[in-house]
Chains A and B, each alone.
Chain A
């Protein structure tokens, strides 16, 4: 039995993670890097993602690659995004840069669900968004957007 190839992924803060190649390939970004990498480089830098987040992303990829048809995949996904908004945003950004469609879908949809039904103020509070409109700009916005006031 041939031993499966492993790849080392290195996060922005220098943390390294050894994963099976099949799991790493779940990220189309990594797949592309490997395919165009030339020499057999087995360490791939992922400078857009911190160690904490990369560890979670790998957990997601492992589950989806090793048990794609398992009955508990749906509940795994549901539980996977039961995290605070900061971690959720990190996951969304990582999945976007690493081109992992399933995780991008999951995290984006979860964030979208958190936007829904909230006022602008409530969304700012939930996601710690600083309002950078000046009072004059806000007044202008209110005038311009009077057509969507009913929302």
Chain B
């Protein structure tokens, strides 16, 4: 009987993909990296015309190069609009959007995010770059409704500005990763932390502005990743550019990327179990290498109690081995 089956024409194969139940096809489609591949399957076979509509993940990526081409960009925006019109799910698990944008397209993007939020989205990953950077130098402002979304569990945001008019409420948020956010003082971080009672992982990537310390006393945050520090753009070489981290409850700390500052201090990291240092320290024109050495020594002294301490190659830059 088995041999008979093998000799049948493959089109009649009972276990062939053409005979897959819709739910199984949905499992495959939800593992495709971009929604455009899922949409394409609607043209494979009659029965699958609408299967992609039920995929709980939406993934739209407009490449960096393509987004600078107005025609290509317009087609991309049109594709997203039409896909969302057809998709019509009441529940979405993941929504990813990477694209360039300009002021003209701002309302489109806000509509898409609103669609995702209305579908009780859990994981939102949004990276935008301003196509008119040279003239506007502004980040895309996150609409107010985003700050009150209770379905988020994972948020990854790059190239946005945050101006919440009130208290943020992300009651189910477990992981937050923000890149290139302008932070003035610690108020925004405090707002985020007090509005995210179950937040476990916080990652800050090349945030900038007038912010000199991170105070994380939240009991839920256990992992902090600090990647890069630009500081205030008009004060790169100012004296005493000091950054302090106070995080007495975190268990894991990573410091990496390029740090444009004079000194980094860890005020309280008494609960740490693991720490990974792999940053490059740029002290500016006044740096002699001594301050970089002092910073690293200071960090290591503050981390002596840590069970698993790793120091990566970026910290051991060849140029100042000569100073030792």
Contact = CB atoms under 8 A, between A and B. Distances in A.
B317 interface: no
Interface in B9-29: 10-11, 13, 15-18, 20-21, 23-24, 27-29
Nearest to B39: A148
B145 interface: no
Contacts of A111: 17, 28
A92 B28 contact: yes
Contacts of A13: 1-2, 5
Contacts of A148: 36, 39-40, 79, 82-83
A133 B42 CA distance: 11
Nearest to B83: A148
A71 to B, nearest CB: 20
Interface residues of A, number: 40
B13 A147 contact: no
23 contacts: A13-B2, A13-B5, A14-B1, A50-B5, A93-B20, A108-B24, A112-B32, A112-B33, A112-B37, A115-B37, A115-B41, A123-B41, A127-B16, A128-B10, A128-B11, A130-B45, A141-B42, A145-B39, A145-B42, A147-B79, A148-B40, A148-B79, A148-B83
Interface in A80-139: 85-86, 89-90, 92-94, 96, 104-105, 108-109, 111-112, 115-116, 120, 123-124, 127-133, 137
Contacts of B11: 128, 130
Contacts of B28: 92, 108, 111-112, 115
A128 B9 CA distance: 10
A96 B13 CA distance: 17
B contact face: mostly helix, strand, loop, or mixed: helix
A96 to B, nearest CB: 5
A104 B44 CA distance: 22
B45 A129 contact: yes
A150 B24 contact: no
